[in-house]
Amino acid sequence: SDGAFDTDVLVVGGGPAGGAAALALATYGVRTTVIGKYGWVADSPRAHITNQRTMEVLRDLRVEDEALSVGTPQQLMGESVFCTSLAGEEIARIRTWGTEDERLTEYAAASPSPMLDLPQPYLEPVLIGNAARRGAKVRFDTEFLSLEQDGEGVTARLRDGLRGDEFTLRARYLIGADGGRSRVAEQIGLPFVGEEGKGGSMNIVFEADLTRYVEHRPGVLYWVLRPGEGIGGIGMGALRMVRPWNKWMAVWGYDINGPGPVLDHAQALRIVRGLLGDADVDVRIESTSLWTVNDMYATSYGRGRVFCAGDAVHRHPPSNGLGSNTSIQDSYNLAWKVALVLRGQAGAALLDTYSAERAPVGEQVVTRANRSTGEFVPLFKALGLGDGLACEDAVAGVRRGRLPTAEGARRRRELADAMQLKHYEFSAHGVEMNQRYLSSAVLADGEGEEEWRRDRDLYAQPSTRPGAKLPHAWLVDTAGHRLSTLDLVGGGGFSVVTGLAGQAWVEAARVCAARFGVELRVVRVDEDGARDVYGAWQRVSEGLDERGCLLVRPDCVIAWRHAAPVDDPGRATAGLGRALAAVL
Ligand code: FDA
């Protein structure tokens, strides 16, 4: 019957969402074709912050080392400076992306993988290149035009960018990862909430050696406040590191309600020079682009055999650095489900859980990112900046904040408080790590609502509750090398995680694997090769008896938990079987 299908899954778009979908599907052995409208992957830096959960996904897809080799490491990401220009006065500084003294060990403890700065032109070849190496067919210069679906599959009409002619391609499923102006989402009529075009921004990529301004305060973002300039008298731009310390991107806002901005070479150079505050630095402008600030998400991610992922379904400002992270994680959630359904190991209803699990995450991410943008207002207020201020007044206002006066003291207090609020943008470890899924592919165990011990957005809370990802704990293998609990699960298959005494589950897994025809790996923490020598798993799995069990999905999310001890293999098999039947 394969003759009727050119491919099993057609992925439209080769960005972070599409690249990750193609990579995961190819890794799971699914016949996949990925198309991109242009001749190559993203040619400008765009998204760059790559959080630990995404790094764990890349680790499971066996490309983490490659990503690390092309990115900029966490220790160079930490200083976020607020200044009047890079060469000018420093207003405030905040440690970001988990590098703050109080947070560094928390980040280290939460995951086997570090944060990384990985701009899209470096990330995308890792995803697409490895997808191709693992068998995905990659087709650039191919534009998606339209689709039609029926009970068996999807027929996509595409245009060959070289020849200019149109042709059709038939697939069993189609994934629309075609970005913020998704034609796929539009054609299947996905419902959206929110608004687009709330603000306008210019990206200017340039080369300049800025070592002497940043080496002593290394970071990925240098915020430049140019009082009086820009929209509403608040001129705030950013200099973003692309490569330490000679490749950069300048970001500067424009009034979206005015006539479109002129961004020719002279204007780009003027903006960059203004942000640098040093007329003598050699600057070579590489490229410019415009983008809009959006606040929009889809409430449903699929229709029939067509699913959307990434910016196609959530569009938000770059705050919190969630763009490519959320896109990659969408695809990771979807890929194993599609693989299981294609292989006939799961019913099609499993695919409905993609939307049920990811749409709430998309909503949360869009809301958080937009809120973070708004949380600059207290900072502006503390600096005496606001709507309608003339340039001179704004500059004078900022200067008054540096005076040894009562007003200066108040301003400095307000500034310190305003900077604290920015931890919700720059160290929102909880936003990054605390996703909890609720769907028919997760079986609640009657424990009631999760109790958040600290601020849910700021702090990661590991949990063995169904719907959470398996907590990370370092174990050691037979040679004494460290390995993470996350290294023992995933890989496209299900796992049963129990303890050394969890004999009953070993037998249960053997019976259930045969009955359901799925891969069911058994992880017995503390057996040889997975020794809990630090007692780290004991701590992080508190409440889970050593003779209890976790059923872990291919995306390392816990589907089911039996916390109490079970010794009878028959009982264990019945419980595990019910759980698998529900998920599949
Ligand atoms: P993405 O847009 O990356 O990829 C879409 C893919 O689909 C592309 O390969 C495209 O060619 C393809 N495509 C589109 N239509 C198609 C069609 N009809 N047929 C075939 N292929 C098609 N984020 C951030 O965190 N910091 C930042 O500074 C920026 N800056 C920024 C600048 C610009 C100019 C843009 C466009 C976006 C940003 N972003 C950003 C957002 C960030 O880039 C975004 O969140 C992720 O790239 C989303 O990844 P996706 O894979 O979903 O879409």
Q: Compute, in angstroms, the gap from residue 179 CA to the centroid of ligand 1.
A: 5
223 vs 138: CA distance, rounded Å: 38
What does DSSP assign to residue 128?
Answer: H
Instruction: Find the mean pLDDT for residues 28-33.
Output: 98
For residue 1, what pLDDT band results from cuts at 50, 70 and 90?
Answer: very low
Q: Compute, in angstroms, the gap from residue 180 CA to the centroid of ligand 1.
A: 7
Per-residue pLDDT tens for 229-251?
777 667 889 999 999 999 999 99
Query: In this predicted structure, what is the pLDDT of residue 34?
Result: 98
Q: Compute, in angstroms, the gap from residue 15 CA to the centroid of ligand 1.
A: 6
Burial (Cβ within 10 Å: 0-12, 13-18, ≥19) of residue 280: exposed
CB 467 within 8 A of CB 519: no
Residue nearest to atom 36 of ligand 1 (CA): 291
Q: Determine the residue of 138, 143, 178 to mutate for testing ligand 1's pocket, defined as the one with the most ligand atoms within 8 A of the Cβ atom.
A: 178
Per-residue pLDDT tens for 453-506?
999 999 999 999 999 999 999 999 999 999 999 999 999 999 999 999 999 999
Ligand 1 atom closest to residue 145's alpha carbon, by position in its atom list: 18
For residue 111, what pLDDT band results from cuts at 50, 70 and 90?
Answer: very high
Q: Compute, in angstroms, the gap from residue 241 CA to the centroid of ligand 1.
A: 19
Ligand 1 atom closest to residue 309's alpha carbon, by position in its atom list: 52
Query: In this predicted structure, what is the pLDDT of residue 380?
Result: 87
Relative orientation angle of helices 323-342 and 352-374, to the nearest 10 degrees: 180
Per-residue pLDDT tens for 9-18?
999 999 999 9
Q: Determine the residue of 12, 46, 319 to mutate for testing ligand 1's pocket, defined as the one with the most ligand atoms within 8 A of the Cβ atom.
A: 46
Ligand 1 atom closest to residue 180's alpha carbon, by position in its atom list: 2
Q: Compute, in angstroms, the gap from residue 17 CA to the centroid of ligand 1.
A: 9
Give how far Cα 537 sits from Cα of 407, 470, 480, 513, 561, Å. 52, 11, 16, 25, 15
Per-residue pLDDT tens for 428-456?
999 999 999 999 999 998 888 999 999 99
Evaluate if residue 253 carries a pLDDT over 50.
Answer: yes
Per-residue pLDDT tens for 512-555?
999 999 999 999 999 999 999 999 999 999 999 999 999 999 99
Token pair listed for 363: 């909503």
451 vs 456: CA distance, rounded Å: 10
Question: Going from the N-terminus, what domains does the chain have, and what CATH number goes with each?
Answer: 2-74+115-193+298-357 (3.50.50.60), 377-421 (no CATH), 436-583 (3.40.30.120)
Q: Compute, in angstroms, the gap from residue 184 CA to the centroid of ligand 1.
A: 14
Tell which wins on pLDDT, 499 or 380. 499
Per-residue pLDDT tens for 388-444?
666 666 667 778 888 999 999 999 999 999 999 999 999 999 999 999 999 999 999
Ligand 1 atom closest to residue 251's alpha carbon, by position in its atom list: 28
Query: In this predicted structure, what is the pLDDT of residue 233?
Result: 66
Residue nearest to atom 14 of ligand 1 (CA): 178
Give the number of other CB atoms < 10 A from CB of residue 541.
25
Instruction: Find the mean pLDDT for residues 317-342.
Output: 97
Residue nearest to atom 4 of ligand 1 (CA): 15
Q: Compute, in angstroms, the gap from residue 308 CA to the centroid of ligand 1.
A: 13
Residue 399 contacts by C-beta under 8 Å, 6 or more apart in sequence? none
The single-letter code of the amino acid at 392 is E
Token pair listed for 64: 């983490």
pTM of the model: 0.97
Per-residue pLDDT tens for 465-478?
999 999 999 999 99
Among residues 131, 136, 166, 150, the alpha carbon closest in space to that of 306 is found at 150
Residues having CB within 6 Å of any atom of ligand 1: 12-18, 35-38, 42, 46-47, 120, 143-144, 177-180, 183, 203, 289, 291, 310-312, 318, 321, 323-324, 327
Instruction: Find the mean pLDDT for residues 203-218.
Output: 98
- What percent of the chain is predicted at pLDDT more than 90? 89
Ligand 1 atom closest to residue 178's alpha carbon, by position in its atom list: 7
Token pair listed for 352: 């409905």
- Helix (H), strand (E) at residue 248: strand 247-254
Q: Compute, in angstroms, the gap from residue 446 CA to the centroid of ligand 1.
A: 40
134 vs 31: CA distance, rounded Å: 10
Residue nearest to atom 30 of ligand 1 (CA): 46
Residue nearest to atom 49 of ligand 1 (CA): 16
- For every residue of 158-222, DSSP letters joined together read EEETTT--EEEEEEEEEEE---TT-HHHHHTT--EEEEEEEEEEEEEEEE---HHHHTTS-BSEE
Residue nearest to atom 28 of ligand 1 (CA): 46
Instruction: Find the mean pLDDT for residues 138-143.
Output: 98
Q: Compute, in angstroms, the gap from residue 475 CA to the centroid of ligand 1.
A: 38
3-state secondary structure 371-427: HHHHCCHHHHHHCCCCCCCCHHHHHHHHHHCCCCCHHHHHHHHHHHHHHHHCHHHHC
536 vs 281: CA distance, rounded Å: 51
Per-residue pLDDT tens for 160-196?
999 999 999 999 999 999 999 999 999 999 999 999 9
Q: Compute, in angstroms, the gap from residue 329 CA to the centroid of ligand 1.
A: 15
Per-residue pLDDT tens for 73-96?
999 999 999 998 999 989 999 999
Q: Compute, in angstroms, the gap from residue 364 CA to the centroid of ligand 1.
A: 20
Per-residue pLDDT tens for 554-571?
999 999 999 999 999 999
CB 565 within 8 A of CB 546: yes
Average pLDDT value for the chain:
95
3-state secondary structure of 48: coil
Q: Compute, in angstroms, the gap from residue 210 CA to the centroid of ligand 1.
A: 28
The residue length of the chain stands at 584
Burial (Cβ within 10 Å: 0-12, 13-18, ≥19) of residue 299: middle
Per-residue pLDDT tens for 290-329?
999 999 999 999 999 999 999 999 999 999 999 999 999 9
